[in-house]
Amino acid sequence: MTNSIMFLDDIDTANASEMRTGYTKWDSVVDLTAVGLPTLNACFIPPYTSEDNIKKAVETFKSKISTPKIMIRSDATKETTDYIRLGVSLPPEEVSAKAFEVSQMGRAVILFPQTSRFASYWSHNTVVHKDGSFNIELMGPGFDGSGLSRGDIKALYSISSKPQSSSLLDYYKDKDWDYCYDEQDSFPFLRLDIHKDPTPADERIELRLQQIAKHILPKMGVKTNNSSKFAERWLKRNGYDFLWTKKDEIPSPELIDTVLKDAAKLCRYLKKEGRFSSATALSGFMIDIDGRKAKNIYLEYFNGKKWGNEPVLFQGKRGRGFSD
C-alpha cells in the first residue's frame, strides 16, 4: 500500500501492481488500465494529505485533462454502507477544498475528468459469475448506472446467459469474434435471454427525474425541494435533453459484443492473478469524449464481496451504486 499521490497516466502496464494501493476504486481503475480497457485518467490522493499537496495535485491533474471541472470520488480499503457519497464534478478551486475535507476524514480521494451522468447514450453494469455465466443491465439515454445499483429504476434491458450457454471466459478465449446472430434475438449467439422493462417511457423518465431531484442535484449543491419538475427545468436549462430527444433504441450487437469481450478480458486477467472471485461486476457508460463520437468507458469494477460478508447482488438489491 502506498501513501503517495499518483496519476493513472503514469502507469506502466507491465508493473501495474506497483500502483495498487488496497483502495477499491483506485485499484479497479489500475486493473482496467493494465488490461487495456478504456477508462479515464485519474489521480489518487491518500488519506491525511496536506492541504498544500492536495492543491498541487489538483493543479497538476488540471493540466493533464481538457474538461473545465473535475469529478471527485472518495475511496476506502473496505467499504461500508454509511460512507460519504460524492461522484460530483466541481471547479478546480472547489475540488481542492472538498478533497482536503474528505482526506482529513481518513478516506482516500480519487479525481477524474468531468463526466456528465445526464448525457450518457448507454450505461451498463455487467456481472460475470465464477462459472462463466453473466448478466448485463443497460440504461438508455439520459439515465446512469447509479439508478441500477441503488434499485431506484429497473434496467431498460436485462440480458443474461441461458443455463446451456458457453462460459463467457471460454467463448472469447484466444479468438476474434465474428458476428454470428441468433435469428430470433439478432444478438451474438451466446444463448442469451433478453428482457425489456415494460414500464412506459414517460413513467421511467419521471422516476429518473425523481432520482435526480432527490439524490444527484443535492450532491451538486443544487436545492431542489425534491421536485421532479424542478429537475426537468434544470436539465433542459443546462442543455441536458437526452431523456426527451434520444430514443430508447435496442442496444446494438456491437455494443453487447464489446461489453462481453471486455468483461471476459478483465476476468481472465483477474483469474491469472488469482483474484477472480465469486463474481466480478463491471460498470461502464457510452459518452461523447471531447466532442468526438460516443465512446465506451469503464469507471470501476468490483470483485467478489464489496461490503463485508455480503455477496455481490444484481439489480440494485445492495442499495449502493457504482457512481458514489
Task: Note whether 101 and 125 are same-domain residues.
Answer: no
137 and 69: one domain? no
Q: What is the pLDDT of residues 192-205, one digit of tens each?
A: 788 899 999 999 99
pLDDT on residue 269: 87
Q: Which of 166-175, 220-229, 284-293, 299-308 has the weakest average pLDDT?
A: 166-175
* 134-139 β-sheet, strand order: 192-196, 157-161, 134-139, 122-129, 279-287, 295-303
Q: Answer with the one of 113, 145, 164 that is the final residue of a domain.
A: 113
Say what the pLDDT of residue 43 is: 96
The one-letter amino acid at 304? G
Domain count, the chain: 2
Residue 209 lies in a domain: yes
Same-domain status, 254 and 208: yes
Closest CA to 231 of 101, 141, 129, 142: 142
Last residue of a domain, one of 79, 113, 147: 113
Cα angle for residues 227, 231, 233 (degrees, 5° grid)? 115
Would the pLDDT of 75 be above 50?
yes
- Section 103-112 average pLDDT: 93
Give yes or no: residues 209 and 136 share one domain. Answer: yes
Asked whether residue 103 falls in the same domain as residue 126, the answer is: no
Shared domain check, 302 and 159: yes
In a domain, 188, yes or no: yes
Residue 171 domain flag: yes
3-state secondary structure of 166: coil
pLDDT band of residue 324 (cuts 50, 70, 90) is very low
Q: Residue 1 domain-assigned?
A: no
Identify whether residues 231 and 148 lie together within a single domain. Answer: yes
Residue 99 lies in a domain: yes
How many other C-beta atoms are found inside a 10 Å radius of the C-beta of residue 86?
21
Q: 269-299 burial, b for 16+ CB within 10 Å, e for fewer? A: bbeeeeebeebbbbbbbbbeeeeeeeebbbb
> What pLDDT is recorded for position 90?
87
pLDDT, one tens digit per residue, over 231-253 is 999 999 988 899 998 877 788 87
Contact 175, 193 (CB under 8 A): no
Per-residue pLDDT, averaged over 269-282, amounts to: 83
Question: Does residue 7 have a pLDDT over 80?
Answer: yes
Q: State which residues form the domain around 40.
A: 6-113
pLDDT for the residue 56: 96
If asked whether residues 289 and 142 sit together in one domain, one would say yes
Is 34 in the same domain as 165?
no
Q: If you average pLDDT over every residue of the chain, what do you get?
A: 79
- Give the per-residue pLDDT at 181: 36
- Does 309 share its domain with 287? yes
Nine-digit cell string for 268:
481472465
Helices (H), 12-68: 24-35, 51-64
> What percent of the chain shows pLDDT beyond 90?
30
User: Residue 80 has what pLDDT?
Assistant: 57
User: Do 199 and 80 belong to one domain?
Assistant: no
Choose between 247 and 297: higher pLDDT.
297
**Same domain, yes or no: 105 and 126:** no
What pLDDT score does 170 carry? 67
- Among 62-71, 95-104, 175-184, 230-239, the minimum mean pLDDT is found in 175-184
Cβ-based neighbours of 47, under 8 Å, separated by 6 or more: 103, 105, 106, 107, 108
Question: Does 133 fall in a domain?
Answer: yes
Last residue of a domain, one of 85, 113, 141: 113
> What pLDDT, on the 0 to 100 scale, is given for residue 286?
83
Is residue 15 assigned to a domain?
yes
At residue 33's C-alpha, the angle toward residues 29 and 36, to 5°, is: 140
- Residue 85 has a pLDDT of 61
| CA–CA distances in Å: residue 279 to residues 130, 134, 216, 296 | 6, 9, 28, 22
Structural domain includes residue 244: yes
